[in-house]
Structure 1
């Protein structure tokens, strides 16, 4: 088994900070306006009917995230020109701006954790897509899942018309396993769901290749 070095700061990656969603007006407003009512997210990455979502749905969404094995908001740190201290503040004291969320959940429910088979979900608010944040956050979540979560397989599903997402998932190392044919109806057309996954030994090989370069 490859030896993978643990992250110096578990809840950070190169540009991003990952924190738990809170029952605060700010987090609820972000979820409500930038995630649940984002028409691109509704149409490209969820099976929900595209329509306005009320604010109560944000409460339920946060509870769902909090109940996952891993459910975090993806954030950017707020830089301050007035910060002259040489010490690095803790994640709890860093002011952040949420730009998305990523989660890992037991695919078949809470009583099936012994199968070590989980599903990954991720979304970004408008204005933060196409900047490399997706690959960075997915790689962070995969590292957490295999190093700390004890998982053996991480899977996801992507709509066949979401070509940008499929390109990203393949780039970070997910492999296509099959498809659910004509299982999504959008704009009067039927589309497939592409089933993709990464296994523990595939992740180890990817990280070993990175460390050797």
Structure 2
């Protein structure tokens, strides 16, 4: 189920299925000195070649796992996905995204998350989408709020990042809130 069979595109990005050969790109993303501290696993040392197999298992076990590339030039930008398989009854998805630093401040994260949220609610029929983010990741929190996510909880000093404790922030967005946000944006 984690492998999507088609490619999706936004104005500037393509979101495609994980393929054999993507492991090195993803390993460089997860090992990036600026990206790694913001990841939930908060590893202490860099991931090695064995982690490539773990990446494949993550992709296969996810509801949806996408490699993000630029439409023009096909440069590897990052990854996004729904990393849990929701219970049929509750239809709740947990989203995650990671973008290489050279693509920060270009609006790519906003564009990719906006697509994933819309796809999650409309194509995957999710009722709610949630995410976890480190409290020091101000840019990401601003993006999530702009899209419509609401802070639902905070676990104080949950993660050790760059030599200090920081809170874990949990945010959520309901399908009806997303629909209302889209309606109000369309009417402006």
Q: Could you say whether these structures have the same fold, taking a TM-score greater than 0.5 normalized by the shorter chain as the test?
A: yes
**Pairing partner for 1:65 from 54, 59, 76:** 59
Runs of 5+ consecutive residues of structure 1 not aligned to the other structure: 1-8, 80-95
Alignment of 1:148-187 (within 5 A): 148-187=123-162
- Checking the alignment, whether the CA contact within 8 Å between 1:102 and 1:122 is kept in structure 2 is yes
1:136 aligns with 2:111: yes
Distance 2:132 2:180 in 1: 23
Tell me the SS of whatever aligns to 1:149. coil
Aligned residue pair count: 183
Alpha-carbon distance, 1:65 to partner? 1.9
Alignment of 1:1-213 (within 5 A): 11-24=8-21, 27-33=22-28, 35-79=29-73, 96-106=74-84, 110=85, 112-213=87-188
Alpha-carbon distance, 1:209 to partner? 1.5
Residue deviations 1:84-127, cap 9 Å, x none? xxxxxxxxxxxx33211100133xxx472321111100001120
- Checking the alignment, whether the CA contact within 8 Å between 2:58 and 2:83 is kept in structure 1 is no
Tell me the SS of whatever aligns to 2:75. strand
Runs of 4+ residues deviating >4 angstroms: none
Alpha-carbon distance, 1:10 to partner? 7.5
Distance 2:86 2:149 in 1: 26
Distance 2:25 2:185 in 1: 35
TM-score between both structures, scaled by the size of structure 2: 0.89
| RMSD, matched Cα | 1.8
Distance 1:62 1:199 in 2: 30
Change (3 A) 1:54 1:10: closer
Distance 1:30 1:10 in 2: 18
TM-score between both structures, scaled by the size of structure 1: 0.80
- Checking the alignment, whether the CA contact within 8 Å between 2:153 and 2:169 is kept in structure 1 is yes
- Checking the alignment, whether the CA contact within 8 Å between 1:72 and 1:103 is kept in structure 2 is yes
Distance 2:153 2:132 in 1: 10
